[in-house]
Amino acid sequence: MSVAAKFSQIGKPLPRREDRRFLLGKGRYLDDIVPPGVAQVCFLRAPHAHARIVGIDSTAACALPGVIGVFTGRDLAEWTTPLRLAPPIEGLHPVEMTTLPIDKVRFHGDPVAVVVARDRYVAEDAVDLIEVAYEPLPCVADTASALAPGAARVDESLPDNLVSHQSFSAGDLAARRAEAARVIETTFDLQRHTHVPLETRGCMADWDEGREHLTMQIGTQVPHPLRGQLAGRLGLSESQVTVISPDVGGAFGQKIALYREELAVAALSRHLGQPLHWREDRAENLMAASHARETRCVTRAAVRGDGRILGLELELVEDFGAYCFYPANYMARVIAMILTGPYRIADYSFDVKVVLTNKCGNGPMRAPMAITSWVMDGTLDAVARELGLDAVEVRRINALGPGDLPYTMATGEVLADITSRETLEGAVSAIDISAFRARQARARDEGRLVGLGLCTVVESTTYGSQFYKAAGIPGSGHEAAWVRIEPSGAVNASVGLMGTGQGYETPLAQAVAEGLGVSAETVTVHMGHTDIAPYGMGSRGARGATAGGGTLYLCARKAQEKVLAIAAGMLSLNDARGLRLRDGHVERRLDDDWQPTGLGLKDIAQRAYLDPTALPDKVAPGLDVSLTYDPPPMTYSNATHACEVEIDKFTGRIDIRRYLVAEDCGTVINPLVVEGQQHGAVAMGLSGALFEQVIYDETGQNLSATLADYLVATATELPKVEIIPMHTPNRSTPAGIKGMAEGGIMGAIGVIANAVNDALAPLGVTATRMPLSPQYIRALVREADENQERTGEA
Amino acid sequence: MLNMRLAQPEHLIDLNDLIELDRVIDHGEWVEVGALTRHHRVATAPEIRQGVPLLADAAATIGHYAIRQRGTLGGSLVQADPAAQLPLVAVTLGADVMVRSRRGRRTVAAAEFLRAIMSVDLAGDELVTGVCFPRQPDGERWAFDLFSRRHGDFAIVAVALTLQLDDAGAIVALRLGVGGVGPVPMRLTAVEQRAVGLVPDGDTILDLARNAAAAITPEDDPLVPAKYRRDLVETLTARALRRVTADWPEVTT
Amino acid sequence: MTAPVTLSLAVNGAVHEVTVPPRKLLSDVLREDLGLTGTHVGCEHGVCGACTILIDGQPARACLTFAVQMEGHDLTTIEAVSEGDRLSPLQQALHQVHGLQCGFCTPGIIMTVTAYLRDHPDPDEVEIRDLLSGNLCRCTGYQNIVKAVIRAAAEIRARAPA
């Protein structure tokens, strides 16, 4: 661990400081801080996938005792402006949506009307009493029907349902196909997921009529961007809105956008002049919060006889649902941009279609590019299978090695400081492939299906502003921080991130402590309050460590410089050269050794705040330092997952026998927290690959609106994950941090599919879609049996 | 049901405090289990483990630990989920459901009590007070098995069976019940009859399991094709038969 | 049916009188009427386990129970698990091995496991995973929760008088 050696605070496995309040039942999640008596909000949701709203009669609902009011899209349109997404991006249609639907509903669960009542029970009673007349419209429940000529249009302002279409080509694919021994086509169908944070969405809006100020308490990943949205759509200035995020019970990407319900609650608080609280129930969360994934990819690899990929073509179609809370190209585009990842493929093209359907709108879910590594490594496995080659050798012949770096991908993205070749070898050796192959051969002789999968991940963790610009995605990648040493020497700091369970309070304190030269215990990091935190882009992707931790680290270093400048004055030195702050004490380098000076941070702080005339020239009073930072265009971490499975061919059940991850995520700020993220990401990836599925029938009815229908893996379904740390620092980021927390999902989805297909290989069938349910696997086995019978008869 | 507003009854009567219905009484030929006996107690009570071990084994597979602390035998029977464990065992063992109202008491066979999906033979003024399970004879072997997507979920298919062998190892009596394949759990009597007199070796087991799969007529649903349920019945039946024959632990008496 | 009724509830060793509609869920009464917000509501249909409390010492879903059913029963919530500020062995182990992330499911897990360890002091990993399968956690992947339960069980055994 040479990386950690040069740090004193970074790299320590400190248990998290937020734990105490959570363990005692004293966390402050939104519902825990709503004062008694606050009126409650509840939404009426559409029972149809696609229908005109002909009329809404709320007479009976309004007459119910305890009901404060019933409001519709038409009412809200008076108090809010629509969301218009029209970034100047080629191939992407501009779209607009009102706060609540006015003329028609576009998916089962679309909010139609909103009730304000004295409590939640009465509000739900009132919702049942609202009469809505609908005129059902034909619905498009999948991309094929949405793209068919004459299909019903989800968004009638667009010419058709193809909301975004982008393509790209580098090199000469036709020439590569001509040279190739084979062109191998492979399909990957990743089903519709949803995030399922244990705490559903909710908010409390409080309009202060006297100050003309809105306080919005809401669990959010992005306090400042959310404030901007709220202010803009309510016609307020940003100084009239404060967003405060209390403790958040998980988000996973679901708590980034300003949703229509939240805006409605804020607008109604202002309209009614009273605080309002909304908490969605689980059915609403599963049906109408945000969905994700549902992407189909087809690759065509032009290959040499030895498995070397000469050219690669990708066709991607994403089912985006009915509404765009994000630019529709955002998630799909990233997949296409980074697909080739750990492999050397210069001739590459993509065609990416994003399609509107009558389903809940898509958004980013932890690893929005989740499918990427399955598609890439699954393509390599298909090449190996088709050509009868060893899957590891096919990876090796295509892999980027240390000598290839920095490597400019066909899409123009630059990979540097990654070790995907090393983690591949690390995983291959840890899992002991030759011993496995021997076991597998014996098992096959007994008619058992065992398989081994590998999946190498190059995870795009931290998007710098330049990446967004180059990729044609609107957004900034910067982050902002302040570090304030109080007169007592206590250290407060803040950053624009907002944690939703990761445990930022401890590792970010470690980043500050490292940069400043104090112990982490003395640092408190404040997040989630827009009047306190600086304007940053919040928590999304895996930017927390590199953008958040990196900005705090740099800011704290800047603070240390000021501390040392003051110390130099107090020590009657000309400048701060040869001084450092360590554990809150100023040390001086004398004869290659660091000696105490007797000065502590408190002495410096007292001087800075309370005796400013004694400060050196050009040193301003106080110890209040801020800094903004834009990370490199893209920071990557990497990992190789390996997994051994056995399939019960009679029931189709997949049993994971062993699971390991060899990972390089750069400098690790807190190994305990990183391990937690590794476990959690693998778990979410496996849960998605094996169980989760948002189900719509052909009429657009959502059939998975309970947790008994939307299946999330429990403790009995998940394996123990072995982790092999192979961290190396990034040379372009603060402290060498790379970031992580999404790659585990990419790897898990890919590796389980690859392992299953290795197990199924003797049967000559391949799983191409998820979830890998026992029904599906059993159907593949049956298909193989039937094929065999047919061949036998012939 | 209530939380999702699928049912909005005028009146709701809490039976939980009728603690006299939380009881297990060994009557010798049969074991009476009160309607309010929690699954955890059904799974662990010595009278049940000894007298009706199939019931105890089945109850141990219900839901999760916390669920087994609250869920009751009567609740499970009256809810009549087609894939639930306890109705399946009641039907397989030929248990009697005891019903009481101000009009009097009556007893109805479990197979008749369970009428259709989530529908039972119970009038508005009636209450299930308990279930009488016939004691499993000495020397009888039993197996309960189910297949679900996740541990603790309702089964896709569940199989309950008991088996008696004669000294020569031939089948004297087989009771075979399956759940999750129709509106109510059912005994596969044709398979049971076919089994009598056979020696349950590998081929016989396979033949009986295939017959079990052929004897059911499940319907396709959006997630589970009928074929899959049939496959599961075959596999679970074969495995359960193996468990009570080749894999049955030798007990020295 | 919705006229409020007055009941007395024994929670964490104290008796509280509350006046609530009969249809009000125990989870809501604990949180809103008694201010015991450590019991979380994650699904309101008994699947997620976040609202698990102890009824007469046994784990149960507070979201599947009406408060009016609880007269004469003894309720225990997360707020009574620690001795004042001193974390219980399970709470301490969860902290040390990073067995929680967002913390929303944690009270339900602590209640379930606390009751189980009282009756089963030396569970193995399979048994622990089986136990935990009734509580959803979306953050941790359960691995460190399992580790914490093993550690807590050992600590409790070590503390018990021989």
Indicate the fold that domain C5-80 takes in CATH: Ubiquitin-like (UB roll) (3.10.20)
Q: At residue B148, does pLDDT exceed 80?
A: yes
**Per-residue confidence (pLDDT) for residue A474, from 0 to 100:** 75
B101, B187: one domain: no
B87, B150: one domain: no
Q: pLDDT for A182-237, tens place per residue?
A: 999 999 999 999 999 999 999 999 999 999 999 999 999 999 999 999 999 999 99
Of B134, B163, B181, the residue that ends a domain is B134
Q: Are strands B127-134 and B119-120 parallel, antiparallel or unpaired?
A: unpaired
- For A291-467+632-793, CATH number? 3.30.365.10
* Residue in chain A nearest B6 by alpha carbon: A128
Cβ-based neighbours of A59, under 8 Å, separated by 6 or more: none
What span, in angstroms and rounded, lies between the C-alpha atoms of A701 and A680? 31
Q: pLDDT for A16-34, tens place per residue?
A: 999 999 999 999 999 999 9
What span, in angstroms and rounded, lies between the C-alpha atoms of C96 and C89? 10
Residues forming a β-bridge with A187: A298
Of B134, B164, B184, the residue that ends a domain is B134
Q: What is the DSSP letter of A247?
A: B
Assess B2–A contact: CB distance below 8 Å, yes or no: no
CB B89 within 8 A of CB B102: no
**How is A584-631 classified by DSSP, letter by letter?**
TEEEEEETTEEEEEEEEHHHHHHHHHH-GGGSPTTPPSS-EEEEEE--
CATH number at residue B114: 3.30.465.10
Give me Rg for the CA atoms of chain A.
28
B203, B105: one domain: no
B206, B116: one domain: no
What span, in angstroms and rounded, lies between the C-alpha atoms of A304 and A383? 10
C-alpha closest to that of A323 among A375, A297, A362: A362
Residue B101 forms part of a structural domain: yes
B37, B128: one domain: yes
> In Å, how far is B20's CA from the nearest CA of chain C?
16
Architecture of the domain defined by A34-137+197-251+255-289: Alpha-Beta Complex (3.90)
Q: pLDDT for A574-584, tens place per residue?
A: 999 999 999 99
Q: Is A730 in a helix, a strand, or coil?
A: coil
**How is A266-278 classified by DSSP, letter by letter?**
HHHHHHHTS-EEE
Residue B179 forms part of a structural domain: yes
**Per-residue confidence (pLDDT) for residue A1, from 0 to 100:** 38
Q: pLDDT for A448-492, tens place per residue?
A: 999 999 999 999 999 999 988 887 777 899 999 999 999 999 999
Q: At residue B204, does pLDDT exceed 70?
A: yes
Q: pLDDT for A589-643, tens place per residue?
A: 998 899 999 999 999 999 999 999 999 999 999 999 999 999 999 999 999 999 9
**Per-residue confidence (pLDDT) for residue B198, from 0 to 100:** 97
pLDDT band at B251 (very low <50, low <70, confident <90, very high): low
Of C44, C133, C135, the CB nearest to B151: C133
**Per-residue confidence (pLDDT) for residue B19, from 0 to 100:** 86
Residues forming a β-bridge with A460: A636
Q: Rounded to 5 degrees, what are φ and ψ at A251?
A: -145, -55
Q: pLDDT for B155-164, tens place per residue?
A: 999 999 999 9
Residue B226: what residue type?
A: A
Cβ pair C49:B66 closer than 8 A: yes
**Per-residue confidence (pLDDT) for residue B249, from 0 to 100:** 87
C-alpha closest to that of A107 among A82, A77, A139: A139
* pTM tops 0.95, yes or no: yes
**Per-residue confidence (pLDDT) for residue B250, from 0 to 100:** 72
- Any idea where the domains of chain C sit in the sequence? 5-80, 89-159
Chain C hits for A199, Cβ within 8 Å: 40, 42, 102, 104
Tokens 């985006």 correspond to what residue? Answer: A320
- Any idea where the domains of chain A sit in the sequence? 2-26+478-629, 34-137+197-251+255-289, 291-467+632-793
**Per-residue confidence (pLDDT) for residue A228, from 0 to 100:** 97
Residue A555: what residue type?
A: C
Assess B13–C contact: CB distance below 8 Å, yes or no: no
Tell me whether 0.85 is exceeded by the ipTM. Answer: yes
Q: Is B7 in a helix, a strand, or coil?
A: coil
Q: Considering only the top CATH level, what class is C89-159? A: mainly alpha
* Residue in chain C nearest B150 by alpha carbon: C133
Cβ-based neighbours of A731, under 8 Å, separated by 6 or more: A416, A417
Q: At residue A4, does pLDDT exceed 50?
A: no
Q: Among residues 47-106 of chain B, which lie with CB inside 8 Å of chain C?
A: 63-67, 69-70
Q: Rounded to 5 degrees, what are φ and ψ at A234?
A: -100, 0
Assess B3–C contact: CB distance below 8 Å, yes or no: yes
Residue range A411-421: mean pLDDT, rounded: 96
pLDDT in tens, chain C (162 residues): 578 999 999 999 999 999 999 999 999 999 999 999 999 999 999 999 999 999 999 999 999 999 999 999 999 999 999 988 899 999 999 999 999 999 999 999 999 999 999 999 999 999 999 999 999 999 999 999 999 999 999 999 999 886
Q: What is the DSSP letter of A762?
A: G
* Residue in chain A nearest B233 by alpha carbon: A651
Of B134, B155, B183, the residue that ends a domain is B134
Q: Considering only the top CATH level, what class is A2-26+478-629? A: alpha beta
B127, B24: one domain: yes
Cβ-based neighbours of C75, under 8 Å, separated by 6 or more: C9, C10, C11, C12, C26, C30, C53, C54, C55
B147, B116: one domain: no
Cβ pair C64:B3 closer than 8 A: yes
Q: Which residues of C56-88 are buried (b: 16+ CB within 10 A; e: fewer)?
A: eebbbbbbbbbbbbbeebebbbbbbbbeeeebb
Of C21, C96, C130, the CB nearest to A121: C21
Cβ pair A282:C43 closer than 8 A: yes
B160, B75: one domain: no
What span, in angstroms and rounded, lies between the C-alpha atoms of A76 and A267? 7
Of A124, A714, A775, the CB nearest to B151: A714
Residue B7 forms part of a structural domain: no
**Per-residue confidence (pLDDT) for residue A2, from 0 to 100:** 43
C-alpha closest to that of A415 among A354, A455, A460, A350: A460
> In Å, how far is A164's CA from the nearest CA of chain C?
32
Residue B215 forms part of a structural domain: yes
Q: What is the DSSP letter of B179?
A: E
C-alpha closest to that of A331 among A269, A272, A247, A256: A256
Cβ pair A711:B150 closer than 8 A: yes
C-alpha neighbours within 13 Å on the C-beta side of residue A652: 26
Q: Quote the strand ranges of A18-65, DSSP E.
A: 39-45, 51-57
CB A392 within 8 A of CB A433: yes
Residue B230 lies in domain: 141-244
Q: At residue A179, does pLDDT exceed 70?
A: yes
Residue B251 forms part of a structural domain: no
> In Å, how far is C10's CA from the nearest CA of chain A?
19
Q: Are strands A585-590 and A593-600 parallel, antiparallel or unpaired?
A: antiparallel
CB A113 within 8 A of CB A132: yes
Q: Rounded to 5 degrees, what are φ and ψ at B170?
A: -90, 155
Helix C125-132 and helix C106-119: axis angle, to 10°?
Answer: 130
C-alpha closest to that of A342 among A218, A497, A455: A455
B128, B26: one domain: yes
**Per-residue confidence (pLDDT) for residue B253, from 0 to 100:** 46
Residue range A74-82: mean pLDDT, rounded: 98
Q: Provide the domain count of chain B.
A: 2
C-alpha neighbours within 13 Å on the C-beta side of residue A525: 32
Q: Which residues of B115-142 are buried (b: 16+ CB within 10 A; e: fewer)?
A: eeeeebebeeebbbbbbbbebbeeebbb
**Per-residue confidence (pLDDT) for residue C2, from 0 to 100:** 72
Mean pLDDT of chain B: 95
Cβ pair A650:B150 closer than 8 A: no
**Per-residue confidence (pLDDT) for residue A5, from 0 to 100:** 53
Cβ-based neighbours of B5, under 8 Å, separated by 6 or more: A124, A128
pLDDT band at A743 (very low <50, low <70, confident <90, very high): very high
Q: Would you say the CATH fold of A291-467+632-793 matches that of A34-137+197-251+255-289?
A: no
C-alpha neighbours within 13 Å on the C-beta side of residue B128: 29
| Dihedral, CA of residue A611, residue A616, residue A617 and residue A621, to nearest 10 | -40
CB B161 within 8 A of CB B142: yes
Tokens 């750990």 correspond to what residue? Answer: A342
* Residue in chain A nearest C96 by alpha carbon: A15
Share of chain B above pLDDT 70, in %: 98
CATH number at residue B196: 3.30.390.50
Give the other-Cβ count within 10 Å of A598's Cβ: 11
What span, in angstroms and rounded, lies between the C-alpha atoms of A367 and A501? 16
Residue range A748-753: mean pLDDT, rounded: 98
State both tokens at A454: 């590998």
Residue C136: what residue type?
A: L
What span, in angstroms and rounded, lies between the C-alpha atoms of C28 and C36? 9
Q: Which helix (H) or strand (E) holds A435?
A: helix A433-445
Of A19, A32, A196, the CB nearest to C100: A19
